Amino acid sequence: MVMRIVSNQRVHTTMTRYFSFGKARPGRTKIALFLLVAVLNHSAWAQFERPTTDTLKTQGVFYQALAGGLVSSSSRTPFWFRSNQFGAIPLGAPAGIVSVGASGLWGDANQTKRPYIRAGVQLVGNVNRASRFVLPEAYAAVRLGYGELYVGRRREVNGITDTLLTSGSYAWSGNAAPITQIRLGTKGFAPVKFTKGLLAVSAFYSHGWFAKTDSMQHSYLHAKALYIRIGKPAWKVRFYGGVAHYVQWGGYSDYLSKDFTFNGQIPVSWSAYKKVVFPGSVTGNNGQFATFDTINRYGNHLGSVDAAMEISLKKANLLFYIQHPWEDQSGLDGGNFPDGIYGARWQNRSTDLNNGFRMVQLTAEFMTTMNQSGPDYPRGNDDYFHNFQYIDGWTHQRRIIGTPFITRRMDADPKWYGLRGPFNSISMISNNRLQLLHIGAAGIFSSGVQVSALLSQSWNWGRPDSVQPKAAIHQFSGLATVILPTGWLGGMEWKASVALDAGDWLTPSLGGMISILKRGRF
């Protein structure tokens, strides 16, 4: 979305109102203050998934190979087959899927005072009507102490959330193919020494490259966050909080008029970059900025302010978390309250098996994005993930980067392709006003068979100030999965899933997926 300059509220022309659609801009001082408070970056991977290269603790080089396929009662892949899968699962069904990858660790990942080097690569092939290759991971990283530098693309989820059964982290969920980056940050939480472990900090600063699209080429990613944990690791209660900041900026487009670009170019100068890192107003075009940039903060800014409380009990671990979205000053000020994701997670720490079965985890989430700072311009109508310069919205390689429940027009049932938003316009982001109830459960049998389920009911209202729909569009999406370990060929895993989409927002479909996975060490 666009972030509007408060000082330009007196501009009442039709063009200005169109440009500045619904945003009051965050001031530089408040952005800096919020970045000094901070949030937890959970790149941890689910208990029901093998460690990625990011969590690998054993030194050596490992491989994995997967082959599988999916079918559906419609030509669309069901929602929970393709969502939060790093862009690896195709949108069209039926499809075959082949994946090969390798990861390596050189050094001791368990000793923070010792350096290590990590590297990982994964290639996924989709065979269907639109066959393609996807590269969800290809990176190298080096750690020294609590600091880590990585170059490439890496599968990660940012924000305070449960990564196993969540509906998706708000701003960076792992739904899209990862963006190639150079990222410098801490690895885990670094204790602040003079507090004797009471405070710990996790932070990163990143520069990335968006993939080219039909409407925008050579645009960049700026991302940063600073996270704080209050409470020593051994304490029963710990608190987390803070903010993450993401910006798409720069680029070249033949699709936009001179009001949105300067001769097709969105500036990439040093002065433009400073406006990205410290959001500030643009005065005059300086031979590079378009009219749009002088009315709005430069770049497409968004993020979330997160908070959480973790409670460790004798037989369970509890996590309560909130992710509050922001795209301008009103979001940082709480003007769009109660928008956000409200989650609770229960993890079983007991190893007891009752009748041969143990419940491992339960997760429940409620999400609402209905407020969006109210209906009035310029402060309201936040229009999450939408932007008038970057007309593909907050997406990468045709997938939403954040929560998959904010959707592109092509992800919906074709009968909603003509859904119109503010100013009677059709946008790539067709649905960002919604409410969601989501439940996830996972368990394991004494035989080693793992089972899990995701159940999601949403009510979808399109975009702020939309002409359509007149009432909420109901949608249910569910997934049930069984993982069966076998001793074949030194150990393999069969995975079978059934997914259902029932409702009016997505194309109704019932699908099945089956795959076999082999892991080993070179």
Least confident range from 36-40, 178-182, 304-308, 425-429: namely: 36-40
Higher pLDDT, 9 or 234: 234
Q: What is the pLDDT of residue 22?
A: 33
Residue with the larger pLDDT of the pair 335 and 211: 211
Torsion 417-423-429-434 (CA) sign: negative
- Using the predicted structure, report yes or no on whether residue 117 has a pLDDT greater than 60: yes
Q: Which of 9, 33, 32, 36 is nearest to 20 (CA)?
A: 9
Residue 508 CA from chain centroid, whole number? 25
Q: Is the pLDDT of residue 262 over 70?
A: yes
Distance CA 182, CA 209 (A): 9
pLDDT tens-digit map of 142-181:
999 999 999 999 999 999 899 999 999 999 999 999 999 9
Q: Is the pLDDT of residue 92 over 50?
A: yes
Question: What average pLDDT does the segment 279-305 reach?
Answer: 82
Q: What is the mean pLDDT of the chain?
A: 86
| φ/ψ of residue 496, rounded to 5 | -130, 135
Using CA atoms, how far residue 15 sits from 422, 423, 429, in Å, is 14, 12, 21
pLDDT digits (tens, 9 = 90+) for 123-144: 999 999 989 999 999 999 999 9
Q: Name all contacts of 486-491 with Cβ < 8 Å and 24+ positions apart.
A: 489/518, 490/520, 491/518, 491/519
What's the CA gap between 100 and 438, in Å, rounded?
Answer: 32
Residue 252 has pLDDT above 60, yes or no: yes
| pLDDT reading at 10 higher than 50 | no
CB atoms < 10 A from the CB of 296, how many? 29
Measure the CA–CA gap between 511 and 522, rounded to whole angstroms.
36
- Tell me the three state secondary structure of residue 276: helix
Average pLDDT, integer, range 52-77: 87
Picking from 87, 238, 53, 81, the residue whose alpha carbon sits closest to that of residue 160 is 238
**pLDDT tens sequence across 464-512:** 877 778 899 999 999 999 999 998 878 899 999 999 999 999 999 999 9
pLDDT at res. 108: 87
Q: Which two tokens stand for residue 63?
A: 């491989």
pLDDT band at 422 (very low <50, low <70, confident <90, very high): low
Kindly tell me if the per-residue pLDDT of 378 is higher than 70: no
Environment class of 74 (CB within 10 Å of its CB; exposed 0-12, middle 13-18, buried 19+)? middle
Alpha-carbon gap, residue 151 to 209, rounded angstroms: 12
> What is each CA distance from 217 to 83, 136, 252, 392, in whole angstroms?
25, 20, 5, 12
Contacts (Cβ under 8 Å, ≥6 apart) of 158: 41, 42, 43, 169, 171, 172, 225, 244
Q: For 89, what's the count of Cα atoms within 13 Å in the CB-facing half-sphere?
A: 21
- Look at residue 395 and tell me whether its pLDDT is greater than 60: yes
Give the CA distances from residue 507 to residues 91, 430, 469, in Å, rounded to whole numbers and listed in that order. Answer: 12, 15, 17
* CATH domain 60-250+299-521 topology: Porin (2.40.160)
Q: Has residue 420 got a pLDDT over 80? A: no
Q: How far apart are CA 519 and CA 407, in angstroms?
A: 34
Question: Residues near 292 by Cβ (< 8 Å), separated by ≥ 6?
Answer: 2, 19, 259, 260, 261, 388, 389
How do the domains of the chain map onto residue ranges? 60-250+299-521
Average pLDDT of span 357-361: 96
